[in-house]
Structure 1
């Protein structure tokens, strides 16, 4: 029989599609409102969008170097573990599982539901219960696909990436045509300083960076990439540049057609744009945007399941989650684990509160990961990396991330305090459970018996769930 392990099925095109598909999602269609609201004017909002793009490129370059230095999958988690140690990596894992990832998935799912129903209820807003029901149905469909096949998940991502770029083009082209015809009224007083509120800028950056988030996704599936030393940097650079150009043109198109009040009053900016500029496509664009969000959900589930898989393999998560389906070769337990938390957040959450809630934790740990790159360079000067960025890139990116996180305590103390409490709650869990039970990881890749976790019954439960789900430990080392 075939050995059970994660195959290298992600080519350069699929890596590019994964990154484009993860970045271009709900953000560009809902974040313009958050960026404009917290930056004050059209001009300053465009500056924020461009600054977020440059910052994302810096972060992406740092992660590209980390991806060539550290050969394991797992993204933020494995980079923090390998450079800063087990405690900060577990705190990230704790916050990622209970706050960052479910909140992020809920935001994208809610955007999917809202845009999918928009053509049926326009010009009125879709009922909230209906939006949440469709959001959950979309999420469950993606969950099922990722449980079924890695290949089909990757193929879907490629197809949806093309749809995403088409959706942006349908906004950019009419907007640029109107701009060329002299429609510049909404750009007057674009940099009115009286409208700028400095203490709200971190929230504007959070909204903008949310739209770009996804540039790090290739690092989560490093072990499944074909020629990762070459393809990670190449896919990252091309995809981020593509998205920066697309986002800037899209925002200029929005503001060419919609005034400040229109953007702030709109629950779905892309739909409001089409209603004004391209009425013949009023039913098409919302569906394209919904499919774009669907692709972001697919990319998120695909990559986060690898984080849980690697964390389990490293001994910081229950051993069941480092197991793979014997026929499908998918990390089935890790894929299924997010189901209850995302369901809860979709049912009770609001998009903008959820966005601020998880952004604090996400950017704190991304800043720590790039700090880890600086530490890793210092500790291992002899290590050759096929891709290396100038030192000012990780230094400046880390400082900006940590400064933005610190400033956000003043901008949105309630949501940030909740996020901070979630991170700090991982300390007692680590010291009372993980630190005690985690012995030195065996040098052998295969373990005949996983150590118990949380409860004495864990070995028994692991065995029963292993039989039920038809999963086993990976049989071939892939890093």
Structure 2
């Protein structure tokens, strides 16, 4: 049976997503999403809170290790529950439908769409370079073109999307290598002033070295590693996920940590800490100081890096929408696949109108900041699901296991982030809480309320059929209520055990988790 089709009991062929992401694709996806624009633009968040070069570097190392703990916790869940959707799926199975819906609601509202929009603006800004004639409107128009291009790419072909992701990841790796080699080559010339008395306050620092500021520096560092949580969203499209995902995550997190460290060392070899804090675009300042006439390599690298992060983020986020649709928590149309392209076309296109509307907002940063607490609380809840599943379902197959102390520690730290944000920036916390709570009545009206007016059902049905005809998309016939579904019973909180003996098909086992 071909990988893109399989037969139901009635003998009908159903269109499905394929397993076609190998180890390098997964590695490229994680690295490509994590390394966006932050390491190129400004690592000042860690530097201005640590106020010393030594602690600045130490915090980067601990941020990488801590992020790896969270990533490994997600991998255990992904390999023991081989369903796409990532933390959406794990929250639904452990904490119920309301929390999983609020996760999807906040993802649409800003948690994922906001960063995608900012990355597109960053790409436009860097592509403009030193041009003084490029107005903010022109930058946003270019950002809109980037978003439309990436969305079209994800709607058109999964294979082409992963190839572009691989190319962009290699490009950003080469960009970082240019910085590392060019920067560290300055050390033999005696440019070591930044590393003298590393654990003391550097000249021009905004404040003294104070342990009270270290949590803020640590959180800034952890944010720079954000993106590892996206890979489990595409579990059903990964070849041999039980082996591929742990290897890809470990390699990617180790690679990113080493490259981040070397890049920051290269920055400090050329620029003083005060110059790094004063720069809004460290890579551009670095390029002008070291690369001379080849300074243009930096904006090109940043633009490609942003493009790759947008592509990877959109690719993975679409699978969360796809999974939520299968569980009846998003419109049915989002769980359909293009007949010929075998792409989740509707789910991949959902983020575009939201991102385009965000381009008209002056202060996107505030919206993202408002919902940062919800991002952390859902990540913490997801990691807390690891010990829950260990206790609740001890008999399920776990190809990969982490020591329980790892997810417990990560969950506690995530909840501490939420508490600290509530105390340090209460207005932003309340704003984000309000946006999150708005999802509660939407959940009860749109999902829990089953007996809606007949006219509403007719409108939704006709709209779905019209969109199916226009975009040539069909139901995968693998919804969780199907006898050949991908493992979840609609309305149930218990996944079916899945055997992964055949990469191209799924089979129910004889027993349930419960």
Relative to the length of structure 1, the TM-score reads 0.91
Between the aligned partners of 2:364 and 2:459, the Cα distance in structure 1 is 39
1:234 matched residue in structure 2: 247
Aligned ranges 1:72-221 → 2 under 5 Å: 72-118=83-129, 120-121=130-131, 127-192=135-200, 195-196=208-209, 201=214, 203-221=216-234
Deviation for aligned residue 1:380 = 0.8
Q: Which runs of 5+ in 2 are unaligned?
A: 6-12, 202-206, 479-484, 487-505, 507-514
Cα deviation 1:177-233 (Å, max 9, x = unaligned): 223433222234543475246665555344323321121222011001111111010
Tell me, in whole angstroms, the C-alpha distance in 1 between the residues paired with 2:50 and 2:429: 19
Please say if residues 109 and 135 of structure 1, whose CA atoms lie closer than 8 Å, have aligned partners that are also in contact: yes
Matches within 5 A, 1:360-375: 360-375=373-388
Give the distance between the partners of 1:362 and 1:453, measured in 2 at CA: 36
Which range moved further: 138-147 or 196-205? 196-205
How many residues were matched structurally?
465
Partner of 2:278: 265
Higher relative contact order (CA 8 A, sep 6+): 1
Contact 1:80 1:368 in 2 (8 A): yes
Q: Tell me if structure 2 keeps the 8 A contact 1:31–1:208.
A: no
Structure 2: how far apart are the matches of 1:201 and 1:106? 29
* Distance change (3 Å), C-alpha of 1:455 and 1:113: farther
Q: TM-score normalised to the size of structure 2?
A: 0.85
| Contact in 1 for aligned 2:119/2:310 (Cα 8 Å) | yes
* CA offsets 1:442-473 (integer angstroms, 9 cap, x no match): xxxxxxxxx99976621221121121111111
Number of the residue aligned with 1:17? 28
Offset at 1:381? 1.2
* SS at 2:185 equivalent: helix
Evaluate the alpha carbon distance shift between residue 394 and residue 238 of structure 1 in structure 2; reply closer, same or farther with a 3 A threshold.
same
Partner of 2:498: none
Which residues of 2 match residues 35-46 of structure 1 at below 5 A?
Answer: 35-46=46-57
What secondary structure is seen at the aligned counterpart in 2 of 1:324?
strand
- Corresponding residue number in structure 1 for 2:511: none
Which position in structure 1 is the counterpart of 2:510? none
Which residue of structure 1 aligns with residue 361 of structure 2? 348
- What's the counterpart of residue 445 of structure 1? none
Does residue 222 (structure 1) correspond to residue 235 (structure 2)? The answer is yes
Larger radius of gyration: 2
Which residue of the partner structure matches residue 446 of structure 1?
Answer: none
Match of residue 395 from structure 1: 408
Deviates more, 1:365-374 or 1:346-355: 346-355
Distance 1:357 1:420 in 2: 8
**SS in structure 2 opposite 1:347?**
coil
What's the CA shift for 1:424? 1.7
- Say whether the 8 Å CA contact 1:199–1:410 is kept in structure 2: no
- Give distance in 2, aligned partners of 1:211 and 1:461: 41
Question: Given the superposition, is the C-alpha separation of residues 147 and 61 from structure 1 closer, same or farther in structure 2, using an over 3 Å criterion?
Answer: same
Contact (CA 8 Å) 1:77, 1:92: kept in 2 or not?
Answer: yes
How far is the alpha carbon of 1:351 from its aligned partner? Answer: 6.5
Distance 2:48 2:320 in 1: 34
Is the CA contact (8 Å cut-off) linking 2:175 and 2:297 kept in structure 1? no
Q: CA deviation at 1:105?
A: 0.8
Q: Does 1:287 align with 2:300?
A: yes
* Offset from partner CA, 1:58-97 (integer Å, 9 cap, x none): 0111111111111110011011112221111111111111
Q: Verify the 8 A CA contact 1:110 1:351 in the aligned structure 2.
A: no
8 Å contact from structure 1 (residues 147, 336) kept in 2: yes
Separation of aligned partners in 1, 2:363 and 2:216: 16
- Tell me, which stretches of 5 or more residues in structure 1 are unaligned? 440-450
